[in-house]
């Protein structure tokens, strides 16, 4: 196994030896990229486990709460209605664009992302597996009909014409702070086909990744020569297992992240710092 390398920061904050080792992997191994919330924080989207997350008290809704409790669904959709304009306005940052440029140049085979914001695709990435789904669509739990989130936003606005929320805090899953009295009066839109319960097409906490999605991600990693993790603490096993898959197959694993990760011991090279700086610097070495 390759010797793990962690080098000191240079004068500009970039770990030069570490990035050179990652560049070697990009240039010789046809890696897949596994991305997490850390790549989107510089687009303004908060995360649950990054360096700033300890300063936030945000508990995400669980799948079990959502499906069994109408009050929990009302709270979720009220907060989502308030938070959607913020999420919809986010733009890709230099980290997303660097990953897209690497894919376009044929230096990575594709991206498995734990993010639900769609920013990889908006930056130009084409071969993307959204491991935890996408906020941009909703699906009926009864009939399976799918609706664009932007269209649902219009229906929710029509049902709640007097809704005004001041939302100083946003959560990683796209919702926002909403006063209790607004939640209590919020009207939830039903499925436009059958009148059933709508759920965002994302994997909630306590919910399993769909089999076909997992298989697509597994196959991408299996077909790659290495794995490069960007912006993920790998705390959730749905992402960490792809590191284990790569290592079991004898493939190198590189991690570029702002902080520690669950897989630091498995990494062949680890580089720490801001993704918006490190990923463009990495791309500049190989493009």
Q: How far apart are the C-alpha atoms of 224 and 270, rounded to whole Å? A: 19
Tokens encoding 13: 């904050």
Of 132, 102, 103, 104, the C-alpha closest to 117 is 132
Contact 114, 238 (CB under 8 A): yes
Contact 190, 159 (CB under 8 A): no
Q: Which helix (H) or strand (E) holds 87?
A: helix 70-88
Question: 229: Cβ–Cβ under 8 A, 6 or more apart, which residues?
Answer: 33, 34, 35, 36, 239, 243, 253, 254, 255, 256, 257, 261, 263, 267
Catalytic-residue membership of 132: yes
Q: How far apart are the C-alpha atoms of 37 and 234, rounded to whole Å? A: 10
Question: Residues 96, 120, 132, 180: which is the catalytic one?
Answer: 132
Tokens encoding 221: 């990693």
Instruction: Report phi then psi at 157, rounded to 5.
Output: -65, -40
Query: Which residues of 75-127 form beta strands (DSSP E)?
Result: 111-113
Lay out the sheet containing 146-148: strands in order across.
146-148, 133-140, 198-202
- Name the residues annotated as catalytic: 132
């Amino acid at each position: 196994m390759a010797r793990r390398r962690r080098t000191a920061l240079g004068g500009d904050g970039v770990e030069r030896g570490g990035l050179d080792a990652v560049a070697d992997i990009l240039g010789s191994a046809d890696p897949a990229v596994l991305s997490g919330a850390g790549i989107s924080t510089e687009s303004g989207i908060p995360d649950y486990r990054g360096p700033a997350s300890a300063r936030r008290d945000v508990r995400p809704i669980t799948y079990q709460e959502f499906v069994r409790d109408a009050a929990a669904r009302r709270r979720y959709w009220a907060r989502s209605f308030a938070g959607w304009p913020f999420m919809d306005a986010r733009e890709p940052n230099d980290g997303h664009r660097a990953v897209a440029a690497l894919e376009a140049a044929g230096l990575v085979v594709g991206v498995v992302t734990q993010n639900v914001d769609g920013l990889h695709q908006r930056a130009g990435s084409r071969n993307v597996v959204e491991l935890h789904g996408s906020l941009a669509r909703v699906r009926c739990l009864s009939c399976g009909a799918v609706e664009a989130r932007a269209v649902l936003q219009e229906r929710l606005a029509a049902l709640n014409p007097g809704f005004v929320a001041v939302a100083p805090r946003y959560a990683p899953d796209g919702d926002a702070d909403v006063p209790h009295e607004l939640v209590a009066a919020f009207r939830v839109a039903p499925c436009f086909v059958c009148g059933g319960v709508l759920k965002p097409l994302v994997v909630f906490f306590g919910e399993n990744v769909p089999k076909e999605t997992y298989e697509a991600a597994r196959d991408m990693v299996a077909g790659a020569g290495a794995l490069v993790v960007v912006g993920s603490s790998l705390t959730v096993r749905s992402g960490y297992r792809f590191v284990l898959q790569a290592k079991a197959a004898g493939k190198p694993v590189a991690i570029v992240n702002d902080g520690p990760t669950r897989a630091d011991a498995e990494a062949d090279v680890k580089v720490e710092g801001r993704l918006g700086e490190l990923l463009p610097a990495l791309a500049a070495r190989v493009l």
